[in-house]
């Protein structure tokens, strides 16, 4: 998950992976596209005197590649839970004693010491939600009943499908449809997934992790990969869209704030982590991005429609299977399948 551009990190030095020492009072934030409300950043800057600049990405894979390249210049990033353990194992994150921060007391106990960071040494909570697909409610040949609509579309839907540009969440959805466990690297399972993705490919109009909902709004596509918050925002803006809860289940995710290794403004990043765990501040993110958060006291400040929105309430009997960190054999195999698919 995932995101809103406030300003772009300027300067070729940052983009090239080198940057001069940052002056006090700066914070360089690397986050998902269209995921950060302007008013939150403005409030933080006013309260702290720290100037925030923003750069954005469209997938966990893009973030991981940037950090692995040794790029310097980012003080905060927002990976999903299944990528945190990868970043920790590869020494890409700074340690942070999140539990000692004053506002940590506001975190829901069920999200304290999560499986991907049991000692809370690297992460503080951002948002969580689900990944599925969405459809135009006025389109022919589409229903939300099954992932078959997404992977094996029929009739007019074929040729009008939008799929994420990277394989991580698509592979997890495929596993649900095929009845496989996540990260199943057995030969037969990989062949079945490859066959399914090849079948879907014949009906895909575009592979992109940005602008999915806009394409639905403009009738460019009728079926699209979607995160629940994006779908809710589109519906509230008047798009005839339904976020789907297929019978096979959907993918769950949890995003966290982390400090990349070598961050120039380490203390300012910690200040933002603590700032975001304040209930009113976390509510600003949920009210903008339309995802759930781990701060129960934020409920007082949330827009009323969040409590009853269909995109935020999974129906009884529908499984939400949280993303897992896959082993190198599976990752290598899926990357190979995906590369060949996109050629």
Q: Which domain holds residue 176?
A: 129-252+309-342
- Please check whether residue 1 lies inside any domain of the structure: no
Question: How far, in Å, CA of 282 to CA of 292, rounded?
Answer: 10
pLDDT tens column, 90-135: 999 999 999 999 999 999 999 999 999 999 999 999 999 999 999 9
SS3 assignment for the chain? CCCCCCCCCCCHHHHHCCCCCCCCCEEEEEEECCCCCHHHHHHHHHHHCCEEEEEEECCHHHHHHHHHCCCCCCCEECCEHHHHHHHHHCCCECCCCHHHCHHHHHCCHHHCCCCCCCCCCCCEEEEEEEEEEEEECCCCCCCCCCCHHHHCCCHHHCCCEEECCCHHHHHHHHHHHHCCCCCCCCHHHHHHHHHHHHHHHCCEEEECCCCHHHHHHCCCCCEEEEEHHHHHHHHHCCCCEEECCCCCCEEEEEEEEECECCCCCHHHHHHHHHHHCCHHHHHHHHHHHCCECCCHHHHHHCCCHHHHCHHHCCCCCCCEEECCCCCHHHHHHHHHHHHHHHC
More confident position, 10 or 130: 130
- Do 187 and 243 lie in one domain? The reply is yes
Gap between the Cα atoms of 96 and 122, Å rounded: 5
Q: Residues 145, 242: contact at Cβ < 8 Å?
A: no
Percent above pLDDT 90 for the chain: 90
State yes or no: pLDDT of 190 exceeds 80: yes
Helix axes 279-289, 38-48, angle to 10 degrees: 160
Query: pTM, whole model, 2 decimals?
Result: 0.89
Region of 41 please: left (phi>0), alpha (psi -120 to 50) or beta.
alpha
- Are 246 and 326 contained in the same domain? yes
Does 206 share its domain with 319? yes
Q: Mean pLDDT over residues 244-249, rounded?
A: 98
Average pLDDT, integer, range 286-301: 97
158 domain-assigned: yes
Residue 194 sits in a domain whose CATH number is 3.40.190.10
Same domain, 238 and 106: no
Q: Would you say residue 183 has pLDDT above 90?
A: yes
Does 33 share its domain with 152? no
pLDDT for residue 21 is more than 80: no
Q: Phi-psi bin for 173: left (phi > 0), alpha (psi -120 to 50), beta?
A: alpha
Residues 135 and 61 both lie in one domain: no
Same-domain check for residues 29 and 103: yes
- So what's the pLDDT on residue 24? 54
In the predicted model, what is the mean pLDDT of residues 312-317?
95
- Domain assignment present for residue 273? The answer is yes
The pLDDT > 70 percentage for the chain reads: 92
Specify whether the CB–CB gap between 179 and 173 falls below 8 A.
no
Residues 245 and 260 in one domain: no
What is the rounded average pLDDT of the residues 26-37? Answer: 96
Inside any domain, residue 24:
yes
Regarding whether 313 and 174 lie in a shared domain, the answer is yes
Q: How does pLDDT run across 44-70, given as a tens digit for each residue?
A: 999 999 999 999 999 999 999 999 998
pLDDT band at 13 (very low <50, low <70, confident <90, very high): very low
Band of residue 77 on the pLDDT scale cut at 50, 70, 90: very high
| Domain shared by 298 and 315, yes or no | no
In a domain, 7, yes or no: no
**Average pLDDT in the chain:** 92
Within-domain flag for 145 = yes
**4 in any annotated domain:** no
Strands 124-136 and 250-257: antiparallel
Residue 48 counted as domain residue:
yes
Domains contained in the chain, number: 2
Buried b (16+ CB within 10 A) or exposed e, 286-321: bbbbbbbbbbeebeeebeeebeebebbebeeeeeeb
Does residue 209 share a domain with residue 267? no
Both 139 and 121 in a single domain?
A: no
């Amino acid at each position: 998950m995932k995101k809103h551009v406030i300003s772009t990190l300027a300067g070729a030095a940052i983009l090239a992976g080198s940057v001069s020492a940052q002056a006090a009072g700066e914070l360089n934030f690397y986050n998902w596209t269209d995921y950060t409300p302007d008013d939150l950043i403005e409030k933080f800057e006013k309260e702290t005197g720290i100037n925030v600049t923003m750069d954005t990405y469209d997938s966990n894979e893009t973030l991981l590649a940037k950090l692995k390249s040794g790029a310097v210049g980012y003080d905060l990033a927002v990976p999903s839970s299944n990528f945190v353990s990868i970043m920790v194992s590869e020494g890409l994150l700074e340690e942070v004693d999140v539990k000692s921060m004053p506002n940590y007391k506001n975190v829901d106990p069920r999200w304290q010491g999560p499986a991907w960071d049991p000692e809370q040494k690297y992460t503080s909570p951002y948002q969580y939600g689900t990944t599925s697909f969405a459809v135009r409610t006025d389109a022919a040949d589409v229903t939300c009943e099954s992932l078959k609509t997404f992977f094996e579309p029929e009739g007019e839907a074929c040729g009008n499908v939008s799929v994420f540009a990277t394989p991580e969440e698509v592979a997890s959805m495929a596993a649900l449809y095929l009845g496989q466990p996540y990260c199943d690297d057995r030969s037969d399972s990989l062949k079945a997934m490859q066959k399914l993705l090849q079948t879907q490919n014949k009906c895909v109009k575009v592979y992109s992790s940005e602008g999915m909902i806009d394409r639905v709004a403009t009738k460019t596509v009728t079926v699209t990969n979607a995160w629940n918050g994006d779908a809710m925002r589109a519906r509230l803006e008047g798009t005839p869209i339904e976020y789907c809860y297929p019978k096979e289940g959907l993918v769950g995710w949890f995003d966290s704030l982390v400090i990349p290794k070598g961050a120039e403004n380490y203390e300012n990043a910690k200040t933002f982590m603590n700032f975001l765990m304040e209930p009113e501040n976390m509510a600003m993110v949920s009210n903008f991005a339309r995802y759930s958060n781990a701060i129960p006291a934020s409920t007082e400040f949330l827009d009323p429609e969040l409590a009853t929105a269909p995109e935020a309430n999974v129906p009884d009997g529908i499984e939400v299977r949280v993303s897992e960190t896959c082993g190198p054999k599976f990752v290598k195999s899926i990357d190979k399948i995906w590369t060949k698919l996109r050629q």
